[in-house]
């Protein structure tokens, strides 16, 4: 099957799965500035004839050219965005909207393929080596297009999505929009994604997360970030990282908008052998054909949340961080939840040792989430999908890519020998996946025994440091979530005296619990209402 035919089938299948919406959105209300409300509020305003998608997309592009450029959040803008918005306006007039994201401006991270644009990976060297426009959308971008979303362009990130600071050799250091000194990091690697949604340039943005790359900028930039269940969102058409850790999901100003994006993205695809259907059906049920959502401010009522204290090192946290955390837990209780201490059997402290011990007990090879063979094969497949010679392309980009993914062989013949070994059969990766199953089973048993609906803890126990400084020596639970493959929704919890985001509360569940976590996170958000736009972003 040719690449072009495969992509056409992906797009048509995604579109066929979407209902033709009867657009009512009856219980949504328009925000003062449509770009600072939720996607459902935006749709309600369109239905009332207050504005068109084309008008709002033009306004968003103006904001991108202004604050977005100043904050170095933009990798590229889509020259067809206004035309795509106008096409959605025509569908609205014909009452054939495709879903809650039809006509809604969204962004993709710089490592995503977007047809008609080069994929820079936020790397100056990669942009030089691969300046051509790609001809296929990443599968997530294709699903968003099929749902009618307006792809605004691509956001800046750390080179190859490797670090957590928002430092791009291609576009420069992404700035934190809340920091007047321009010194604080916005977090990364999905830095520009978080900044564009915080700054009202889009409602949501595609990010990736191997060890916190969505959740770090969510906290440091004061927005919602989600790391879905591992495999729930297929990853085809994105410059790869670690196939057994990499998880793709949304950044957004609101839980509602994160849920809208997840509704569109979920479900397995044969092109990503590690994708799976777990939780997809419940996610799709979050929105009905008339535009209503099952998200409710009462979703926390009667829930029991397990607070994992080892993921909140109080002795190392500042007074401000503790204040915001304690207030967040109080907000959960006010919303109707019980919050109790929970001694999880698998935590950030022991997860690596348990994985290794389980592999030894099975007589398996040592588990390795960073297996070089898996990443090499994923990169080979990425280029093969583009319709170019994958071996020659990998060889051309080898030195630039390996400068970050340094477990890869330096010697080209050794690297070439790994390219065609399927990552889903990589022994170290398979061993890692088996240990993950055992660890999740331990956690599930303990949660069910104590009737815990979700875990809660601070996304990170400290606020944004200066971009040029080392992070404080305080351990976070970020990598734990990726090793376990657990869904996690990170929601803003407050600001310090200078107006800088200081903490997010994470709702964490078992694989497949994504829809339930979004519901609980929404109830917390409605109780706390912590998000505030950055200075300089005023309602129009």
Q: Where do the domains of the chain lie, and which CATH numbers do they carry?
A: 3-301+513-528 (3.90.1300.10)
Average pLDDT over residues 184-189: 98
**pLDDT tier at 32 (50, 70, 90 boundaries)?**
confident
Q: Across the chain, what does the average pLDDT equal?
A: 94
pTM over 0.85: yes
The pLDDT value recorded for residue 28 is 52
Active site residue 110: no
Q: Which is catalytic among the residues 109, 154, 184, 227?
A: 109
pLDDT at 175 over 50: yes
The pLDDT value recorded for residue 8 is 39
100-120: b or e for each residue (b if 16 or more CB lie within 10 Å)? Answer: bbbbbbbbbbbbbbbbebbbb
Q: Which is catalytic among the residues 213, 254, 275, 371?
A: 213
Active site residue 213: yes
Q: Which is catalytic among the residues 30, 168, 189, 275?
A: 189
Per residue in 386-399, pLDDT (tens digit) is 999 999 999 999 99
Q: How many CB atoms are located within 10 Å of the residue 328 CB?
A: 24
Pairing outcome for strands 247-252 and 204-209? antiparallel
Among 217, 169, 100, CA closest to 478: 217
Active site residue 30: no
Average pLDDT over residues 99-108: 97
């Amino acid at each position: 099957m040719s690449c072009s035919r495969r992509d056409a089938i992906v797009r048509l299948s995604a579109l066929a799965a979407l209902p033709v919406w009867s657009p009512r959105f009856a219980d949504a209300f328009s925000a003062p500035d449509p770009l600072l409300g939720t996607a459902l509020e935006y749709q309600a305003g369109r239905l009332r004839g207050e504005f068109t998608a084309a008008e709002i997309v033009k306004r968003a592009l103006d904001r991108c050219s202004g604050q977005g450029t100043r904050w170095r959040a933009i990798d590229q803008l889509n020259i067809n965005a206004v035309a795509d918005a106008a096409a959605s306006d025509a569908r609205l007039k014909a009452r054939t909207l495709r879903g809650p994201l039809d006509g809604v401006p969204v962004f993709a991270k710089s490592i995503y393929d977007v047809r008609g644009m080069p994929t820079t990976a936020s790397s100056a060297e990669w942009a030089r080596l691969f300046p051509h426009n790609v001809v296929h959308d990443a599968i997530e971008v294709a699903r968003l297009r099929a749902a009618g979303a307006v792809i605004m362009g691509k956001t800046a990130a750390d080179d190859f999505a490797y670090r957590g600071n928002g430092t791009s050799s291609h576009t420069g250091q992404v700035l934190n929009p809340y920091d007047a000194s321009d010194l604080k990091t916005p977090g990364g690697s999905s830095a520009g994604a978080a900044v564009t949604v915080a700054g009202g340039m889009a409602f949501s943005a595609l990010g990736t997360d191997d060890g916190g790359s969505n959740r770090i900028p969510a906290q440091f930039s004061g927005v919602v970030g989600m790391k879905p269940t591992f495999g729930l969102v297929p990853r085809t058409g994105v410059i790869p990282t670690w196939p057994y850790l990499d998880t793709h999901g949304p950044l957004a100003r609101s839980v509602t908008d994160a849920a809208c994006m997840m509704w569109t993205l979920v479900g397995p695809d044969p092109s990503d052998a590690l994708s799976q259907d777990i939780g997809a059906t419940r996610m799709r049920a979050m929105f009905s054909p008339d535009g209503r959502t099952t998200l409710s401010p009462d979703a926390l009522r009667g829930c029991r949340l397990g607070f994992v204290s080892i993921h909140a090192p109080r002795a190392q946290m500042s007074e401000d961080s503790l204040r915001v955390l304690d207030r967040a837990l109080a907000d959960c209780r006010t919303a109707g939840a019980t919050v109790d201490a929970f001694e999880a059997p698998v935590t950030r402290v022991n997860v690596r040792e348990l994985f290794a011990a389980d592999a030894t007990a099975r007589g398996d090879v040592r588990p390795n989430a960073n297996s070089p063979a898996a990443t090499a094969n994923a990169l080979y497949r990425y280029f093969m999908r583009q319709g170019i010679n994958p071996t020659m392309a990998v060889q051309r980009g080898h030195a630039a890519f390996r400068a970050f993914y340094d477990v890869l062989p330096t010697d080209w013949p050794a690297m070439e020998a790994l390219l065609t070994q399927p990552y889903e059969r990589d022994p170290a990766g398979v061993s890692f996946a088996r240990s993950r199953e055992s660890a999740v089973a331990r956690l599930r048993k303990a949660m069910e025994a104590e009737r815990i609906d979700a875990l809660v803890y601070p996304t990170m126990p400290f606020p944004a440091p200066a971009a040029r400084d080392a992070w404080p020596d305080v351990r976070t639970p970020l990598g734990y979530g990726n090793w376990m493959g657990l869904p996690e929704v990170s929601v803003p919890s407050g600001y310090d005296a200078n107006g800088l985001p200081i903490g997010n509360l994470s709702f964490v569940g078992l694989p497949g619990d994504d829809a339930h976590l979004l519901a609980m996170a929404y109830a917390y958000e409605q109780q706390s209402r912590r998000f505030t736009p950055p200075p300089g972003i005023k309602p129009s």
